[in-house]
C-alpha cells in the first residue's frame, strides 16, 4: 500500500491531508449534530415549568444558553420575555443566525475538499504523464509495456483524489441536510416557547385587570 502511495508522487501528500481533514470533520460533525445534543428532549416543557413556578432566574437562563443550540434560541427569547412578540421573535432570529453558523461549522471546508481532491489527483496525473513523456523523448519509446506501466502509475493520483472526494461530497450533502432538518425543528420549538410566553403575558394582563 505504501509503495502505491509513494509511486503517486508528492501530490499524494496533499490528497492524504485532505482525507485526514475530511475524516476529522465528518466524525466531529456527526458527534456535534446528534439530535439529543442539539435539541434536548423536553427542554421547552422544562422552560414552561420554570415560568409557571416563577423559577426562571439569571442562573437558569445562563445554564439554558450554554446547554445546547436550542437552549441558546430559547434563552434569547426568554431574555426579552417582557417585550413585545415582535421583539422576542427578532431576538430569536438574530441568535438563530449564529446558531446555524455554528451548526454548519467546517461543512464548507468539507465541500471544498470534495471539489479540490479530484483536481489534485488530475494535477498529479498530468505531472506524471509529462515526466514520463519527457523521459521517453530522451530514451525513446522502444518498450510499450513500460509506457503503459508509467501511465498506470500516473493515474494513481486521479484514483486517490476520487477516493477522497466521493465520500467527502456524500457526507457534505448528508450533513447539510441534517443541519437543515435540525434548524426546522428548532424553529418549531422556539415558536412553541413564543406561544407559551404570549399565554403567560395574557394571563398576567387578565390578572391585573381583575385586581383593578
Which residue in this structure is represented by grid cell 431576538? 91
Domain boundaries, the chain: 2-205
Q: What is the pLDDT of residues 76-107, one digit of tens each?
A: 888 888 777 888 888 888 999 999 999 999 99
Q: In 157-182, which positions are buried (b, 16+ CB within 10 angstroms) versus exposed (e)?
A: bbebbeebbebbbebbeebbebbeeb
Q: Could you tell me the pTM of the whole model? A: 0.83
Q: What is the pLDDT of residues 149-187, one digit of tens each?
A: 667 777 888 999 999 999 999 999 999 999 999 999 998
Query: What pLDDT sits at residue 128?
Result: 79
Backbone conformation region of residue 13, classed left if phi is above 0, alpha if psi is from -120 to 50, else beta: alpha
pLDDT of 212 above 60: no
Query: What pLDDT sits at residue 142?
Result: 55
* Cα-based torsion angle of the residue sequence 205, 207, 208, 212 in order, rounded to the nearest 10 degrees: 140
Helix runs in 79-155, H state only = 85-103, 107-139, 144-154
Helix runs in the chain, H state only = 2-7, 12-32, 35-38, 43-52, 58-67, 69-78, 85-103, 107-139, 144-154, 156-211
128, 153 contact by CB (below 8 A): yes
Mean pLDDT of the chain: 84
Q: What is the pLDDT of residues 21-38, one digit of tens each?
A: 999 999 999 999 999 999
Amino acid at each position: 500500500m505504501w509503495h502505491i502511495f509513494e509511486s503517486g508522487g508528492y501530490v499524494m501528500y496533499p490528497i492524504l491531508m485532505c482525507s485526514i481533514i475530511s475524516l476529522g470533520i465528518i466524525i466531529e460533525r456527526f458527534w456535534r449534530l446528534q439530535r439529543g445534543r442539539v435539541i434536548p428532549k423536553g427542554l421547552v416543557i422544562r422552560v414552561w415549568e420554570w415560568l409557571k413556578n416563577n423559577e426562571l432566574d439569571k442562573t437558569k437562563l445562563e445554564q439554558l444558553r450554554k446547554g445546547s443550540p436550542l437552549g441558546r434560541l430559547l434563552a434569547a427569547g426568554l431574555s426579552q420575555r417582557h417585550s413585545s412578540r415582535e421583539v422576542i421573535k427578532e431576538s430569536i432570529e438574530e441568535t438563530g443566525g449564529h446558531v446555524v453558523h455554528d451548526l454548519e461549522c467546517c461543512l464548507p471546508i468539507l465541500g471544498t475538499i470534495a471539489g479540490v481532491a479530484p483536481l489534485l489527483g488530475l494535477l498529479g496525473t498530468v505531472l506524471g504523464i509529462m515526466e514520463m513523456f519527457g523521459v521517453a523523448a530522451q530514451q525513446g519509446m522502444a518498450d510499450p509495456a513500460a509506457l503503459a506501466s508509467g501511465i498506470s502509475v500516473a493515474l494513481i493520483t486521479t484514483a486517490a483524489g476520487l477516493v477522497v472526494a466521493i465520500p467527502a461530497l456524500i457526507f457534505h450533502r448528508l450533513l447539510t441536510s441534517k443541519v437543515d432538518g435540525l434548524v426546522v425543528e428548532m424553529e418549531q420549538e422556539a415558536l412553541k416557547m413564543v406561544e407559551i410566553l404570549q399565554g403567560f403575558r395574557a394571563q398576567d394582563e387578565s390578572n391585573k385587570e381583575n385586581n383593578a
